[in-house]
Amino acid sequence: MTDSTMIRWIDGGAPAAISGGTTWGMPFARGTVPAASALHVTDADGAAVPSQAWPLATWPDGSLKWAGLALPATDTPSAGYRVAYDAGDAPSGGGLPPSSVPPAVPGARVSVTEGAETVTVDTGVLQMVIGRGGSTLFSELIRNGRTVARDAQLVSLLQDGVPEEAGTAVRNSFTGEVTAVVVEQDGPVRAVVRLEGRHRQDRAGAAARSWLPFVVRFYFHANARSVRMVHSFTWDGDADRDFLAGLGVRFTVPLEAELHNRHVRIAGAGGGFLAEAVRGLTGLRRDPGAEVRAAQVAGHPTPDPSSWNPEVSGRLDLIPAWGDYTLTQLNADGFELRKRTAPGHGWVGIQGGTRSGGFCSLSDTAGGLGVGVKDFWQSYPGQLDIRGAAGSDGTLTAWLYSPEAQPMDLRFYHDGLGQDTFEDQLEGLEITYEDYEPGFGDPAGIARTHELNLFAYDATPSTANLAADAAAASVPALLQASPEYLHSVNVFGDWAPVDRSTPARARLEDSLDFLFDFYAGQVEQRRWYGFWNYGDVMHTYDFDRHTWRYDLGGYAWDNSELSPDLWLWYSYLRTGRADIFRFAEAMTRHTGEVDVYHLGRWKGLGSRHNVQHWGCSAKQLRISTPAYRRFHYYLTADERTGDLLTELVDSDQNFLGLDPVRKVRPDAATYRPNRGALGVGLGTDWGSLAATWLTDWERTGNPRSRDRLLGTMADIGALKYGFLTGEALYDLDAGRFDTGREMISVSHLSAVFGLVEICSELIDLVDDPGFERAWLQYCRLFLGTKEEQVAEVGEPLAGIYLTQAHSRLTAYAAARLQDQGLAARAWESFAEGGEHLNHESAFTLRRIEPPYVLLPVDEAPTVSTNDASQFGLAVIQNLALVGDHLR
């Protein structure tokens, strides 16, 4: 062994158990690890641990850059783990190394058996049988030879309207039809099976409608007694006539034991549980006996009825059996529980509460199924149903969108206000900051992902164990490398671990902590939750109303504007804080799914900020850019996030169909999209394309992405004014820029959507002096004096705003050129440029109490998400680049 590093649990100490195994991603320094097959894992005591590793990305020399690693399920997880690798010469070339994995330590492996009709996965504890098509996700989930669940299905309800008051609406039921099954990994420690399909109307006949394409992945680890399920669907309906009235996953649970030995468990709030039997034996007028009552409450088999008090055993048929249970979580603050004996009979209220843990189980004393939904209340409206528990087969349905909620209404929120021309729309932009265009507020193509955990039980677990399972499904344990290690291998550009060694550094660190804690608090106080909203934050504050501008055009949902995603991920990298990781993860799930189109006319583009996430007519790569998503992919090895990256590989095609600056283009009278000469901005546009090509090249070795990245880098270096040109003409077929354009056009937005971070990485990654020279020129001159600008390019630069944000450009040039004068200028610009965040009062909360607000809230009136994101990135990068010059 030549090198190793300790991997830690981000929540602190080791969890009590890992029922489903664990997976994470980690990087390695360039040229050190030849392939994933060289990696090995030991626990904190140095004992070998079964593991699996696979490549996520490679360096240009072919050595391993990022790897995914997996460990089996265990009841005794180590306090930490160490990843080590064998020495060896890294392979040459740009392709991925072979995807071989080290052999598992004996005693822990998962196996996959592929047949013509089925795929069977065996973790050593449970087995799942997956059909290669049809209406079930899996046909059987087996533990100890007994089928504990079968015939898993995706179910949905479609309503044809939403009556305002009186009136009727028709609901039709749909079932997911699987059309493709692919084994993506087959062990030895981790297996992944991907299913694809669409929802099909349940009525018979060729005219039955098919819609809502979905992808489901099942994740299996050796020794696991649970299976992780990741479900993604894409909305492809007509918002004016299609109203989704329910979306869920349904499981059939075979039941054999007597009704009094069948158990229902449903999570309430704060770790609490409803624990009942289908036929209760407690609280009766006649006592069956303490031993009987204790066994039922514990979920153990009750003694033979012949030993009971005969006054009870002889009257069992007179005790109601409660076959149906429902928990509804229709908002972020309240759930209701109720039950009934059977359909056709009235419901009986049980109790209400605040935020359900999103877990329920149905079992008898020989086994059963538990289901936990991650972010259940945060992604309301959700619902958990148990039906038919008194029959031979019960069902358990985890509704991801509750059928008892108002049907999903995705219609655009206003009538257009007469904005039929670009001129009218630009006038609207001046008053509400909304970039409206008829027909563009269309949700067709947006997506949503949910994560569930399925637990196969060989008996009814204790309530304490169920509570542990519910907690694990809600907040999965995660292993991660330390900030110090991540920094040491030089990934993600310019950042450094937290350093409070001087008072000036400590003040900036305090400011960063304040801003994150403020936004985390706003999510809770403002209730930024819900099916389509969770993970996003608002754009701008309204001081007069003491609220964020949720109802004002482009001031509402932020949709990645000015890179809050990057701010959060860099904050996590340098701190290792679990709360920041989960905030960033939720934002990645949201912005990568809901704010981006995954099919249709705008596939690969994202929507600018708006009252509705899909409402803005600015459909641009600056929102869909992999620059925001690759952190999550590399740190977690999450295949769904990988899908989002793959979708964008050909996103340069979008410039042929939709010009992102069509309303403000100076040459609008003559410009028409031409595949040989497409106008592509060198800021937000090329930065997004570069992130796409870089990520794809690293992940797959794709020569198309490599050549387009390296070619356009060379072309930018060959332009007379480099990045200052602003826009170049792109040949879509050749993947190159025309280098003959001579003009200067600078925008304050060019560098604040990931361009800074991507250019820094590219210069370290690729030897291209012309490109580096062009980027350094841009960094030096953007905040340079007018005299410096005129001396170098013949004219002063216009469009210079966001001074504080762009101080990191000056800092980059200072560090690269070892220029102390530029380093001093960077910190001066940082202090002078942030008019909203350069004074102490900006970092002071003001409490507003009712009746002036609905609920008590804290406000920091000068804080906006634009400023907070760019302040955070400027602090992080300036400290890393010129921190020694901070005074």
Identify the burial level of 76 via C-beta atoms within 10 angstroms of its C-beta, where 0-12 means exposed, 13-18 middle and 19 or more buried: exposed
For tokens 């034991």, the residue is 257
Q: Are strands 447-457 and 479-481 parallel, antiparallel or unpaired?
A: unpaired
Order of strands across the sheet that contains 727-731:
678-681, 727-731, 736-737
Q: How many CB atoms neighbour CB 591 within 10 A?
A: 26
Identify the burial level of 293 via C-beta atoms within 10 angstroms of its C-beta, where 0-12 means exposed, 13-18 middle and 19 or more buried: middle
Q: Enumerate long-range contacts of 212-216, CB under 8 Å, 24 or more apart.
A: 212/156, 212/174, 212/236, 212/237, 212/244, 212/247, 213/599, 214/154, 214/176, 215/640, 215/643, 216/137, 216/154
Its pTM surpasses 0.85: yes
User: What was the pLDDT predicted at 206?
Assistant: 65
d(CA 311, CA 289): 11
**Which residues lie closer than 8 Å to 868 by C-beta, 6 or more apart?**
515, 518, 519, 564, 567, 837
Give start and end residues of each alpha helix (H) in 526-577.
Answer: 564-575
Does residue 613 contact residue 532 with C-beta atoms inside 8 Å? yes
Q: How many CB atoms neighbour CB 697 within 10 A?
A: 24
DSSP E strands, 414-539: 447-457, 479-481
Strand (E) or helix (H) holding 400: strand 393-401
Between the CA of residue 257 and those of 10, 316, 454, 465, what are the distances in Å?
42, 14, 22, 21
- Three-state SS string over 673-729 comes to CCCCCEEEECCHHHHHHHHHHHHHHHHHCCHHHHHHHHHHHHHHHHCCCHHHHCEEE
d(CA 65, CA 33): 8
753 closest CA partner among 591, 601, 614, 632: 591
Write down how long the chain is: 887
How far from each other are the two terminal CA atoms of the chain, in whole angstroms?
A: 43
Q: Are strands 262-267 and 273-277 parallel, antiparallel or unpaired?
A: antiparallel
d(CA 321, CA 308): 19
**Which residues lie closer than 8 Å to 536 by C-beta, 6 or more apart?**
528, 557, 558, 559, 587, 590, 591, 594, 595, 613
In the chain, domain spans: 3-85, 111-253, 257-408+450-474
User: What was the pLDDT predicted at 96?
Assistant: 32
User: What was the pLDDT predicted at 89?
Assistant: 45
d(CA 861, CA 847): 11
d(CA 870, CA 563): 7
Divide the 887 residues of the chain into consecutive groups of 10 and give the mean pLDDT of each group: 74 95 97 96 94 98 98 96 74 35 61 98 98 97 98 98 90 98 97 98 83 98 98 98 98 98 98 98 97 97 96 96 98 98 98 98 97 98 98 98 98 97 96 97 98 98 96 97 96 98 97 98 98 98 97 98 98 98 98 98 98 98 98 98 98 95 92 96 98 98 98 98 98 98 97 98 98 98 98 96 96 98 97 82 93 96 94 98 96
Q: Are strands 226-234 and 210-221 parallel, antiparallel or unpaired?
A: antiparallel
User: What was the pLDDT predicted at 4?
Assistant: 61
Q: What is the DSSP letter of 21?
A: -
For tokens 């994101």, the residue is 869
Does residue 192 contact residue 215 with C-beta atoms inside 8 Å? no
Q: What is the DSSP letter of 538?
A: B
**What does R_g of the chain's alpha carbons equal in angstroms?**
29
Directed axis angle between helix 755-765 and helix 803-817, to 10°?
10
Which residues is 728 bridged to in the sheet? 680
